[in-house]
Amino acid sequence: MTRTAAVALMALLAGCHRSEPAAAATAGDQLEAVAVASGLVIDPAARSLTGSWARDTDRACIVPAGKDSRIGVAIDYGEGQTCAARGTVRRVGDALDIRLGACRVRASFDGERITFPGAVPAACERLCTGRASLAAMMVDRLSDSQSEAATLRAPNGRLLCAD
């Protein structure tokens, strides 16, 4: 056997003893795990949902209520252009299962932002007037305060997260 062939055979055999990374451990997964461990990225699973949320005229509140949490949402674009609803929210992995009466949506949650899907069922559109819609509603965390969250009001003045 030539020296080149022997080196090639040794390299091939050395490669056989390496374990393959798990299929779920992609480079992106590994990078995110390091970022969470170092504190650069907030782990959504460790972050409480309780608090006040807003972006522009979109508002949400979440307060604990048994095994689920109570959620209220309000959008106010001006005269006749509003949405308002209250219901429950439950964390499902990195998403939120939101139930506002007959309206059910799966929103994304990254620990600091809640984003509704770009298309919502007709039952969700019935919670709105005029051209307002819950589709693609996006709110950022303003506060972790339960008492502050309990003060959110719908455009008609009704409290959305209070008992």
Interval 33-55 mean pLDDT: 77
Answer whether 122's CB lies under 8 Å from 111's CB.
no
Answer whether 84's CB lies under 8 Å from 100's CB.
no
Report the 10 Å Cβ neighbour count for 98. 23
Residue 64 reports pLDDT greater than 60: yes
| Range in 2-6, 26-30, 126-130 with the lowest mean pLDDT | 2-6
Phi, psi of 76 (to 5 degrees): -135, 100
pLDDT digits (tens, 9 = 90+) for 132-154: 999 999 999 999 999 999 999 99
CA distance 33 to 30: 5
Report the 10 Å Cβ neighbour count for 145. 13
**pLDDT at 18 (0 to 100):** 47
pLDDT digits (tens, 9 = 90+) for 7-41: 454 554 455 544 444 456 788 778 767 866 776 66
pLDDT digits (tens, 9 = 90+) for 74-114: 999 998 999 999 999 999 988 999 999 999 999 999 989 99
Which DSSP letter does residue 22 get?
P
Q: What is the pTM assigned to this prediction? A: 0.74
CATH architecture of 45-149: Beta Barrel (2.40)
